[in-house]
Chains A and B, each alone.
Chain A
Amino acid sequence: MASIIFSLLSGSVDITVAQLAESLFSSEPSLNSQVLQEIRVPRTMAAFVTGGLLALSGAIMQVLLRNPLADPYILGISGGAAVGALSAILIGATGFWLSNAAFAGALFSIFLVFGIANKFGNWSVTRLLLTGVVVSAGWGAVINILLTTSSTNNVQSMLFWLMGDLSQSSVNSAHYLLLLAGLVGGIVVSRSLNVLIRGELLAVSLGVNVQSLRLLLFFSASVFTATAVTIAGSVGFVGLIIPHMLRLLGARDHRLLIPSCVLLGGSFLVLADSLARTLIAPQQLPVGVVTAVIGVPVFILILRSTIRK
C-alpha cells in the first residue's frame, strides 16, 4: 500500500499527498489528475499485477520442480516471449502487436517444452526441467542472433524489453482477474502444495493426486509468467527472490506464502519501478536493473541473518 502511494507521488511532476487525494477523488480535470490517471495509476497497477504474477509463478515453480533455483523463467517461457517480442520490434511493431507477439512466443514455448517432455509417455519433473533449460538456451541463441543483426535503434528497445520495462505497460480487467484467480486457486491448493514440496512419494501416500496437480501447476504458472512477461518484459529476480525471502522469513506454509507472494511481489515491483523512473530522471532505468540492485543485497542480508540463527 505504502509503495503504491509512493509510486503515485513520485515522478517528473511533483505531487503532494494532499494533492494526490484531491486529484484522485475529484472530478475536476487538472494537470495533476491527468498525470495520475493517464500515466501513473495505470503504470503502478501494471507493476503491481506483474510483480504479483511473477512471485506467484516463482513460488509455484519452486514447488513443482522441487528446486530452489527454479524461477518463472526456468522453463524457457520468457525466452519464447522474448523471441516473439524482439521479432516484433524488428519488423517495427509496437504496443498491441508487440504484446501479442510476446504472448504468442511464450505460449509456443510452453507447448514446445511440454510436448518434448511429454513425448515419450509419462512426463517427469526431471525431464520437464531439462527440456526447459535446453529450450531456454536455444531461445537465448536466437535472441543473440536477433540482437547482433539488428540496427542500433532497435537494439536499444530490445535491450529495454529484455531487462524488463514498464513504460509502455498497462493492464486491463483480464489481468486483474488472472491475478485474482491465481491467488484464489493458489490458496485452494495450498495444503496440497505443502505436502507436494515434501516429496512425490509422500504426497501420493497422503492422498494428493500428484500427476494432475503438477499439470495444473505447470500450466497455471506458465500462463502467469507469459502474462507478466507480456505486460512488462522479462523482469528478473522478483519471481526467484520474493518466494525465497518469504520462506526464509518463516512463511513456509503455502496458505500464508501464496497471498504474501502476491502482495510482496506486487509491492516490490511497484517500488522498484518508482525508483526506476525517478533515480536518474528524466532518464528511465529498466525496472529489471532496479529489482536486481535492491533484490540481491536484501536477499543476501536475510539469508545471512537466518543462517546465523
Chain B
Amino acid sequence: MANLNIESLNLQIENKILCRDLNVQIGENQRWGLLGKNGAGKTTLLHALIGRRRADHGNIQLDGRSVYDLKQRELASKVGILFQQGIEALPATVFETVMLGRHPHTQSLLWDDQKDIEIAEGALAAFDLEQLKERSVDTLSGGELQRLALAMLLAQTPQLFLLDEPSNHLDVAFQVKLLTVLTAEVAETSASLIMATHDINLAFRFCENIILLLEGGESLVGRSVDVLTEENLSQAYGCPIKSVSSGEHRLFYPA
C-alpha cells in the first residue's frame, strides 16, 4: 500500500512557476493522470516526487514520512519511476537489464536470489519479452526498449508507479496492454500510479483521477470526468479541444 500526500507544493524552474500551492492526496489502488502542455512541469513534478528536485515550498509525504528523509534505497523499494528517456541501448542482455529492477530489494552481495529471478522473468513475460531474454539491448527496437524499461519497472515491484510518457514508441495494442498490465498490478498489490502523458484519451480511459497543470502554476485536481472537459483542456493547452461522448467513453480531439 502507498499513500502519497502532496501538501501546498511550489515548484519553479529559473523564474518560471510550474506549480503553486498544489495539494493532492493519492491513496492505494488509485490511478492518476498528469496532464499539461509542453514545459508545464509534468516531468519536474515526477522528479520532485522521488526527491530528485527539492520543492521550493511544501511537503511530499509517503506513508507519513517526507520523501527527503527516506534513504535512497528505501525510497527506491517503494517508488519506481519510468523515465521519459527510457533506457540506453548498451551491450547487455535483456535479462541482465530487467534484473536491475530488483536492485533495491537484493539482499545477497553476490548471488541472485531465485525469487528475484522469478519476478524478473514474470515482468518480461508481462510485456511479451520472454523470447528476447538473451538478446543484447543494443539490438532492440524503440518499442522493445520501452517495453523493457516497463518490465524493469514492474520487476522493481514499487508501491507507487511514476510513469513519464509510458506510451512513447508503443503501438496502439501495446499502449492498451501496458495500461492493462499496470492496472492489474496496481489493483493486485494495492499500489498506486501517476502517469504523465500527452495522450488525453489514454489518460481518460485508464486514470480515474487527473492533475491538470495550467499556465502560471495553477492546477486542477479531481476526478477525470470532472476535470477533463472541453473548457479545461482548451485552457490548459491553449488551443480549442472538442470531445465526443458515447456512453461512458469520451474522445478528445483538437478542433
Contacts and interface: CB of A to CB of B under 8 A. Distances in A.
A62 to B, nearest CB: 12
B85 A201 contact: yes
Contacts of B110: 187, 255
A191 B83 contact: no
B52 A207 contact: no
Contacts of B88: 198-199
Given A201-B85, A202-B83, A207 B109 contact: no
Contacts of B72: 204, 207-209
Nearest to B92: A252
A255 B96 CA distance: 12
B50 interface: yes
Given A206-B76, A207-B77, A195 B96 contact: no
A258 to B, nearest CB: 11
A201 B83 contact: yes
Residue among B90, B103, B106, B110 with max Cβ neighbours from chain A (10 Å):
B103
Of B72, B85, B156, the most chain A CB neighbours within 10 A belong to B72
A204 B103 contact: no
A252 B75 CA distance: 27
Contact of A202 (B74, B75, B87, B109): B87
B217 interface: no
Contacts of A194: 96, 100, 103
B65 to A, nearest CB: 16
A192 B103 CA distance: 8
Contacts of A206: 76, 100-101, 103-104, 156
Contact of B91 (A191, A195, A207, A252): A252
B83 A207 contact: no
Nearest to B137: A198
Contacts of B92: 198, 252
A247 B72 CA distance: 29
Contacts of A201: 83, 85
Contacts of B52: 204
A151 interface: no
A30 interface: no
A153 B52 CA distance: 58
Interface string B72-112: 11111100110101011011100011001101101001100
A197 interface: yes
A205 B83 contact: yes
Nearest to B105: A207
Nearest to B101: A206
A198 B156 contact: no
A188 interface: yes
A198 B100 contact: yes
A194 B95 CA distance: 13
Nearest to B93: A252
A252 B92 CA distance: 7
Contacts of A22: none
A205 B100 contact: no
Contact of B104 (A207, A247, A253): A207
A195 B76 contact: no
Interface string A246-285: 0100001101000000000000000000000000000000
Interface of B: 50, 52, 72-77, 80-81, 83, 85, 87-88, 90-92, 96-97, 100-101, 103-104, 106, 109-110, 156
17 contacts: A187-B110, A191-B103, A194-B96, A198-B87, A198-B92, A201-B83, A201-B85, A202-B87, A204-B52, A205-B76, A206-B76, A206-B100, A206-B156, A207-B73, A207-B103, A208-B103, A209-B73
Ranked 3 nearest A-B pairs via Cβ: A207-B76, A207-B73, A207-B104
Given A208-B73, A209-B72, 8 more contacts: A197-B90, A198-B90, A201-B83, A201-B85, A206-B103, A207-B73, A209-B73, A252-B92
